[in-house]
Structure 1
Amino acid sequence: MGAVLIYDGDCGFCSACVRWIERRIPTTARIVPFQFADLDALGVDAERAAHEVVWVDPDGRLHGGAQAVAGLLMDAGGPWRPLGAILRIPPFRWAAHGVYRLIADNRYRLPGGTPTCALPPADRPGA
């Protein structure tokens, strides 16, 4: 199995980010909303997938948040690979984590975000 990037498909901001990634970053990973992923087979907890983007390495190792983004960039290669590598090195790793959490915790306020982004998955319409 190849790498997989799991994101929140109910979130407009997250979906817009994924569309940007698909147009500009040549990853070999399969990118799938957690709502349609076989989370058990991937070893990902649904609560974690709702909380942060998750990168599943081909060997099954999990990376969340900013480290998931780093995994995606490393996988893309070319000029993206050094950026992904930098995101894995302290203190850049720590800064990336802080920035990721700030964005993720406020995604419903960002362009493309919706009030649904602020709700826990169990409380979203259609859940």
Structure 2
Amino acid sequence: MENQIIVIYDGECAFCESSIKWIEHRLDVDSKPFQKADLTKYGLTYQECSKSVQVITNGSVLAGAPAIAFLLKKRGNSLLSVIITASGPFGRFGYKWIAAHRSSLIVSSLHRVLKLANLRHIKKLQG
């Protein structure tokens, strides 16, 4: 499918799982934990996927901060996407910092916020 968006992420990361669910509220993506995905099908390696999220769309692969910026833009969060993209090395540093500090208080707090947003979305769908 030409416009399909495939997201390969760390399925052992609770923050990553919550982030993907939050993205999926407004964007149709085919999300796969890298631990269960056929990475060779996408030309990816275990090492690449263990370091950063990978987005495959229209034959291109985006990784890390550019992948997140792309997903945010497609989801309708253009301002956040522009901030990540325009900040250049700071956006990439921020992505790497979050990836390396998943158990920190800051990332744990972000995870809780995403979980609450996901729960609210589910309740809204249930009526």
Would you say same fold, with TM above 0.5?
A: yes
- SS of 2:55's equivalent in the other structure is strand
Q: Which residue of 1 aligns with 2:70?
A: 71
Q: Which residue of 2 aligns with 1:94?
A: 89
TM-score normalised by structure 1 residue count: 0.71
What is the CA distance between 1:27 and its match in structure 2? 1.6
- SS of 2:50's equivalent in the other structure is helix
C-alpha separation in 2, matches of 1:101 and 1:46: 17
- Taking the TM superposition and a 5 Å limit, the aligned residue runs for 1:18-57 are 18-23=20-25, 26-57=26-57
C-alpha separation in 2, matches of 1:38 and 1:85: 32
C-alpha separation in 2, matches of 1:16 and 1:98: 21
More helix by share: 2
- SS of 2:32's equivalent in the other structure is strand
Conserved? CA contact 2:23–2:72, under 8 Å: no
Q: After the TM superposition, which segments of 4 or more aligned residues of structure 1 sit over 4 Å from their partners?
A: none
| Aligned sequence identity (%) | 31
C-alpha separation in 1, matches of 2:30 and 2:88: 24
C-alpha separation in 2, matches of 1:20 and 1:75: 13
C-alpha separation in 1, matches of 2:101 and 2:79: 28
Inter-CA distance 83–12: structure 2 relative to 1 (3 Å threshold):
closer
Conserved? CA contact 1:5–1:32, under 8 Å: yes
TM-score normalised by structure 2 residue count: 0.71
What is the CA distance between 1:107 and its match in structure 2? 0.7
Q: How many residues align?
A: 105
Residue type of the alignment partner of 1:20: W
Q: Which residue of 2 aligns with 1:83?
A: 80
What is the CA distance between 1:87 and its match in structure 2? 2.8
* Structure 2 spans left out of the alignment, 5+ residues: 112-127
What is the CA distance between 1:15 and its match in structure 2? 1.4
CA shift digits 1:45-83 (9 cap, x unpaired): 11111111111122x21111111101112322x4x2353
Residue type of the alignment partner of 1:94: P
